[in-house]
Amino acid sequence: MEKTYQPHAIERSWYETWEKKGYFAPTGQGDPYCIMIPPPNVTGSLHMGHGFNNAIMDCLIRYQRMKGRNTLWQPGCDHAGIATQMVVERQLGAQGVSRHDLGREKFLDKVWEWKEASGGTITGQIRRLGSSVDWSRERFTMDEGLSEAVKEAFVRLHEDGLIYRGKRLVNWDPKLHTAISDLEVENLDEKGNLWHFRYPLADGATTADGKDHIVVATTRPETMLGDAAVAVHPEDERYQNLIGQFVLLPLVNRRIPIVADDYVDREFGTGCVKITPAHDFNDYEVGKRHGLPLINVLDRDAAILASAQVFNIDGTPNHEQDPTLPGAYAGQDRFEARKAIVAEFERLGLLEKVDDHALKVPRGDRSGVVIEPWLTDQWYVSTKALAEPAIKAVENGEIQFVPKQYENMYFAWMRDIQDWCISRQLWWGHRIPAWYDAQGNVYVGRDEAEVRAKYSLGDAPLHQDEDVLDTWFSSALWTFSTLGWPQNTDALKAFHSTDVLVTGFDIIFFWVARMIMMTLHFMKDEDGKPQVPFKYVYVHGLVRDSQGHKMSKSKGNVLDPLDLIDGITLEDLVQKRTANMMQPQLAAKIEKQTRKEFPEGIASYGTDALRFTFCSLASTGRDIKFDMGRMEGYRNFCNKIWNAARYVLMNTEHEDGSPRDCGQFGGDAQGSESVAGGRTPGATEVTLSLADRWIISRLQRTEEQVEKALAEFRFDLASQALFEFIWNEYCDWYLELSKPVLWDEQASEAQLRGTRRTLVRVLEAALRIAHPFMPYITEEIWQRLAPLAGRQGETIMLQPFPEAKAEKIDAAAEADIEWLKGVIVGVRNIRGEMAISPAKPIDVLFRKGTPGDAERLQNNQQFLKKLANLASVRWLADDEEAPLAATALVGETEVLVPMAGLIDKDAELARLQKELDKLSKSIKQVEGKLGNANFVDKAPEAVVAKERAKLEEARSACERLQAQYDKIAAL
C-beta of 691: minimal distance to RNA in Å?
13
d(CA 133, CA 71): 10
**Phi and psi of 405, rounded to 5°?**
-55, -25
Tell me the CB-side half-sphere exposure of residue 672, using CA atoms within 13 A. 13
d(CA 908, CA 371): 76
C-beta of 712: minimal distance to RNA in Å?
9
DSSP track, 599-663: TT-B----HHHHHHHHHHH-SS-SEEE--HHHHHHHHHHHHHHHHHHHHHHHHHB-TTSPBP--S
C-beta of 808: minimal distance to RNA in Å?
22
Q: Which is nearer to RNA, 48 or 574 (CB)?
A: 48
C-beta of 873: minimal distance to RNA in Å?
18
- Please name which of 722, 967, 100, 850 lies closest in space to residue 466, comparing C-alpha atoms: 100
Q: Which is nearer to RNA, 629 or 901 (CB)?
A: 629
Helix and strand element counts for the chain (H, E): 31, 31
d(CA 436, CA 351): 48
Q: Which is nearer to RNA, 112 or 743 (CB)?
A: 743
C-beta of 100: minimal distance to RNA in Å?
33
Alpha helix (H) ranges present in 712-850?
Answer: 715-723, 736-742, 749-770, 775-785, 811-834
Which residue type does 31 have?
Answer: D
Beta strands in 56-152 (DSSP E): 70-74, 76-77, 139-140
Neighbours of 409 (CB within 10 A): 15
C-beta of 565: minimal distance to RNA in Å?
14
- Please name which of 668, 641, 635 lies closest in space to residue 764, comparing C-alpha atoms: 641
d(CA 925, CA 919): 10
C-beta of 628: minimal distance to RNA in Å?
8
Q: Which is nearer to RNA, 576 or 708 (CB)?
A: 708
d(CA 736, CA 728): 11
C-beta of 802: minimal distance to RNA in Å?
21
Q: Which is nearer to RNA, 948 or 950 (CB)?
A: 950
Q: Which is nearer to RNA, 209 or 267 (CB)?
A: 267
Q: Which is nearer to RNA, 193 or 687 (CB)?
A: 193
Q: Which is nearer to RNA, 720 or 962 (CB)?
A: 720
Q: Which is nearer to RNA, 106 or 918 (CB)?
A: 918
- Please name which of 144, 161, 246 lies closest in space to residue 204, comparing C-alpha atoms: 246
C-beta of 378: minimal distance to RNA in Å?
17
Q: Which is nearer to RNA, 118 or 922 (CB)?
A: 922
Q: Which is nearer to RNA, 275 or 483 (CB)?
A: 275
Q: Which is nearer to RNA, 164 or 268 (CB)?
A: 268
- Please name which of 58, 128, 56 lies closest in space to residue 606, comparing C-alpha atoms: 128
Q: Which is nearer to RNA, 3 or 100 (CB)?
A: 3
Q: Which is nearer to RNA, 99 or 168 (CB)?
A: 168
| Contact residues for 478 (Cβ-Cβ < 8 A; gap 6+) | 36, 39, 76, 141, 515, 533
C-beta of 601: minimal distance to RNA in Å?
16
Is-cis flag, bond preceding 841, omega within 30?
A: no
C-beta of 197: minimal distance to RNA in Å?
10
C-beta of 307: minimal distance to RNA in Å?
24
C-beta of 440: minimal distance to RNA in Å?
31
C-beta of 918: minimal distance to RNA in Å?
6
Bridge-based pairing state of the strands 870-875 and 842-848? parallel
First to last CA, the chain: 57
Q: Which is nearer to RNA, 572 or 627 (CB)?
A: 627
Torsion sign over Cα 850, 855, 858, 859:
negative
d(CA 364, CA 582): 15
- Please name which of 167, 268, 175, 287 lies closest in space to residue 223, comparing C-alpha atoms: 287
DSSP classification of residue 505: G
Q: What is the CA radius of gyration of the chain?
A: 38
Measure Cα distances from 625 to 38, 541, 767 in Å: 22, 9, 28
Q: Which is nearer to RNA, 3 or 596 (CB)?
A: 3
Q: Produce one character per residue of 474-502: b if its CB has 16 or more CB atoms within 10 Å, e if not.
A: bbbbbbbbbbbbbeeeebbeebbbbbbbb
Strand order from edge to edge, sheet including 351-364: 213-218, 185-200, 351-364
Beta strands in 318-370 (DSSP E): 351-364
Alpha helix (H) ranges present in 435-569?
Answer: 448-454, 471-475, 478-481, 490-495, 514-522, 561-566
C-beta of 190: minimal distance to RNA in Å?
11
C-beta of 827: minimal distance to RNA in Å?
9
